[in-house]
């Protein structure tokens, strides 16, 4: 059942981009793969373009604009019934698309997050303070959205395409995660979580997110929260 648009934001992932595209194409759910290269300075574009499958499209941003900007562009190009975010590294496994899609396919959900923290699946053991930071941001996000997520910062977010058509992504960089979560909550969309595995990588292996991104994410939690949106509507 090919019902899924897979959007892959990519920045300097020459070592992994071709491999992840091939793994995505192996999924029976994949209808199209939209790789949005975010101004890479290595061979990422060439690596993506060497996959000669008609389902793959490679879009080049004019410069490095950030993950949120790449996703905004990719979402606008998606044509399948459902859309999932897939990072260009190898931390998340496309073989688990079936788990992500199940609540969407049976009509229970409009949005599904893949949680790394409510799972008994294999996880690479890495940074304690990253774990603490992720849990803290998720908790604060839950306080402002009145959701009970376990992993707001997860890459694996799957959407009914009509949800994305109602949401304008404003954040250009890693603020995308709290922004989209707040706007899903504000739209009263049905949100599910499913468990996923996770094979995190080290900074030496190419991990990019840092503590400054966490601070900006906290600001975005407040900026886009349903509570702040209601207050602004009362005091324009």
How confident is the model at residue 232, as a pLDDT? 64
User: H helices within 88-210, ranges in order?
Assistant: 97-105, 128-145, 161-165, 176-186
How confident is the model at residue 206, as a pLDDT? 47
Comparing CA positions, the residue from 114, 107, 65, 64 lying closest to residue 93 is 114
CB 197 within 8 A of CB 93: yes
CA distance 226 to 26: 39
Structure tokens at 126: 């890495």
CB 160 within 8 A of CB 110: yes
How confident is the model at residue 210, as a pLDDT? 64
pLDDT, one tens digit for every residue, the chain (236 residues): 899 999 999 999 999 999 999 999 999 999 999 999 999 999 999 999 999 999 999 999 999 999 999 999 999 999 999 999 999 999 999 999 999 999 999 999 999 999 998 867 666 656 677 788 889 999 999 999 999 999 999 999 999 999 999 999 999 988 999 999 999 999 999 999 999 999 875 545 545 566 577 788 889 999 998 776 666 666 56
Cβ density class 61-77: b for 16+ within 10 Å, e for less: beebbbbbbbbbbbbee
CA distances from 69 to 73, 74, 102, 106, 132 (A): 6, 9, 28, 31, 27
Q: What angle do CA 183, 184, 189 make, to 5 degrees?
A: 145
User: H helices within the chain, ranges in order?
Assistant: 17-26, 44-49, 67-77, 97-105, 128-145, 161-165, 176-186, 211-223, 226-234
Comparing CA positions, the residue from 122, 157, 153 lying closest to residue 221 is 153
CA distance 21 to 18: 5
Full set of structural domains in the chain with CATH: 4-234 (3.90.550.10)
CA distance 12 to 220: 26
CA distances from 165 to 10, 77, 108, 146 (A): 22, 11, 19, 23
**pTM exceeding 0.75:** yes
């Amino acid at each position: 059942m090919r019902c899924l648009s897979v959007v892959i934001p990519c920045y300097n992932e020459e070592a992994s981009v071709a491999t992840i595209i091939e793994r995505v194409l192996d999924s029976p759910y994949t209808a199209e793969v939209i790789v949005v290269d975010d101004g890479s300075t290595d061979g990422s574009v060439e690596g993506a373009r060497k996959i000669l499958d008609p389902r793959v499209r490679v879009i080049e941003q004019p410069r490095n604009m950030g993950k949120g900007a790449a996703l905004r562009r990719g979402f606008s190009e998606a044509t399948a019934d459902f859309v999932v975010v897939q990072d260009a590294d190898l931390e998340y496994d496309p073989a688990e698309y079936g788990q992500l899609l199940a609540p969407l396919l049976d009509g229970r959900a409009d949005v599904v997050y893949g949680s790394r923290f409510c799972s008994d699946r294999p996880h690479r053991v890495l940074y304690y303070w990253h774990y603490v930071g992720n849990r803290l941001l998720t908790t604060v996000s839950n306080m402002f959205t009145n959701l009970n997520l376990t992993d707001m910062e997860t890459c694996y977010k799957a959407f009914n395409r009509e949800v994305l058509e109602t949401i304008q992504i404003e954040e250009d960089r890693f603020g995308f995660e709290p922004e989209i979560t707040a706007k899903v909550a504000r739209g009263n969309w049905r949100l599910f979580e499913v468990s996923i595995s996770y094979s995190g990588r080290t900074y030496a292996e190419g991990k990019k997110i840092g503590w400054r991104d966490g601070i900006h994410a906290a600001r975005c939690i407040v900026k886009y929260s349903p509570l702040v949106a209601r207050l602004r509507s009362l005091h324009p």
